[in-house]
Amino acid sequence: MATDFATRMLGVESSSVRDLLKLTQRPEVLSLAGGLPAPELFDVPGLADAFDRVLRGPGGAESVQYTVSEGDPELRERLAELMLTRGIQVASEDVLVTTGSQQALDLVVTALLDPGETVLVERPCYLAALQLFALSGVRVVSVSCDDDGLIPEALAAAVREHRPKLLYTVPTFQNPTGVTLSLDRREQIARLADSERLWVVEDDPYGELRYHGEALPLLTSFGAERVVYVSTLSKILAPGLRLGWVLCPPSLREALTVAKQAKDLHTSTVDQRAGAEYLATGALGPQVERLRDAYRPRLDAMLETLPEVLPEGSRFTRATGGMFVWVELPPEVDALSLLSAAVEKGVAFVPGAPFFAEPGHRNSLRLSFVTLPPDQLHEALQRLSAAVMQLPQRLG
């Protein structure tokens, strides 16, 4: 970056992974890389009808006019209703609409964090959250996780040592690991947030995409005053509308609203109204059911096939929902080398290293099981297997 840019831009460069992934956009490459919902499952006719009713209805002109920063009142009402199905009772005024949940994170960072303050994250952590934290000049400290999510003892130790202002977590079907925080750990973390006056962002894009087992109560349901709940319609309806939302204490919501006003005035009025119109039809429930039914066999197929595909000594997470499975290859295997071989064979994934706040972890990678239809998913895993066969380490 040029020398007269802001200090925060130093070291923020287009990454080698980003460059590699551009190769994967070639049509012949089957991609397990992106966090993209399966496009063939979008309810496009339902969305087209919703936009149509909004734009051709009596509020048509209003639906393309400026609106308030807090969000369209109708959408806030529908999102409050949606939260009821997740076990949370809120008023529509408690909902702040954001331009995707990514913006919700930006607003929280703006309202809560001074440069140099410390944020705790999961190890590994959602990539674009790390990028946002880097841009914000905050200090990032990662906390150990296992197959039940964040390890409370490690978290408590990190809180004592680093006096963080905020913990950022994806408790359910985490990105990138697919892991879910267990019930007792949720309670422990909520208690810790209260006792240590620690802000906790519960990022919940995937919670409704459960394919096995029973839903767990949200972190925010344990009554801690400092849990900021963030969610989105991106994974359950469609990401292209950029509709996210935040639930948080009123004083923080006021601060987030002021920040939102300065950052983009408000989220697209027509998208908000169409989203509200869609939710009002009651079509989201069946749509999510349809996604679950389509994604479940994709997850099962991936988990079933991976032992045959991966090099000996690999480990992978047994996700029960969401979009991702996380792989740790044997220590001597570099995921970037494997990606080169894989792209040659016509399949792509994301190497795991960028999901970490610290260097290393070159033997890890993330696989998305939702984007490809079953036949292509099967073919992609075969190609991955062929790439693994080419690894020199296999000969050792």
Which residues, 267 to 306, sit near a second copy by CB under 8 A? 267-271
Site for a second copy in 350-369 (CB under 8 A): none
Among 261, 286, 304, 308, binds a second copy (CB under 8 A): 261
Binding-site size, a second copy (CB under 8 A): 73
Nearer of residues 203 and 271 to a second copy, judged by Cβ: 271
Contact 183, 216 (CB under 8 A): yes
- 37 part of the interface to a second copy, by CB under 8 A: yes
First to last CA, the chain: 42
SS3 at position 92? helix
Among 86, 139, 162, 263, binds a second copy (CB under 8 A): 263
| Residue span 324-343 as binding mask against a second copy, x where in contact by CB under 8 A, dash where not | --------------------
Q: Give the largest CA-CA distance in the chain.
A: 71
* Interacting span for a second copy (CB under 8 A) from 206-214, 250-258, 285-293, 388-396: 250-258
- As measured in angstroms, the least distance from the Cβ of 233 to a second copy is 10
- The whole-angstrom separation of Cα 284 and Cα 237 is 7
Task: Please give the distance of CA 330 from its chain centroid, rounded to a whole number.
Answer: 26
Among 7, 28, 360, 395, binds a second copy (CB under 8 A): 7
* Interacting span for a second copy (CB under 8 A) from 181-189, 233-241, 343-351, 377-385: 233-241
Tokens of 310: 């991966």
Site for a second copy in 201-230 (CB under 8 A): none
- 19 part of the interface to a second copy, by CB under 8 A: no
Nearer of residues 116 and 396 to a second copy, judged by Cβ: 116
Number of alpha helices (DSSP H) and beta strands (DSSP E) in the chain: 12, 15
Tokens of 17: 């992974």
- 21 part of the interface to a second copy, by CB under 8 A: no
Nearer of residues 50 and 342 to a second copy, judged by Cβ: 50
- As measured in angstroms, the least distance from the Cβ of 253 to a second copy is 11
Among 100, 178, 205, 207, binds a second copy (CB under 8 A): 100
- The whole-angstrom separation of Cα 1 and Cα 238 is 34
* Interacting span for a second copy (CB under 8 A) from 31-39, 83-91, 361-369, 375-383: 31-39
- As measured in angstroms, the least distance from the Cβ of 160 to a second copy is 18
Site for a second copy in 142-171 (CB under 8 A): 165
- As measured in angstroms, the least distance from the Cβ of 275 to a second copy is 11
C-alpha radius of gyration, the chain, whole number: 21
275 CB contacts (<8 Å, ≥6 apart)? Answer: 50, 75, 78, 233, 237, 241, 243
Nearer of residues 172 and 371 to a second copy, judged by Cβ: 371
Distances (CA, A) of 135 to 73, 129, 148, 184, 364: 32, 10, 30, 34, 24
Task: Please give the distance of CA 39 from its chain centroid, rounded to a whole number.
Answer: 17
Nearer of residues 69 and 363 to a second copy, judged by Cβ: 69
Nearer of residues 139 and 337 to a second copy, judged by Cβ: 139
Tokens of 114: 């001074």
| Residue span 102-131 as binding mask against a second copy, x where in contact by CB under 8 A, dash where not | xx--x---xxxxxx------------x--x
- 9 part of the interface to a second copy, by CB under 8 A: yes
**What DSSP string describes 259-322?**
HHHHHHSSS-HHHHHHHHHHHHTT-HHHHHHHHHHHHHHHHHHHHHHHHHHSPTT-EE---SBS
Site for a second copy in 44-73 (CB under 8 A): 44-45, 47-48, 51-52, 55-56, 60-67
Residue 30 exposed, middle or buried by CB count within 10 Å (0-12, 13-18, 19+): buried
* Interacting span for a second copy (CB under 8 A) from 96-104, 215-223, 319-327, 378-386: 96-104
Beta partners for 146?
149
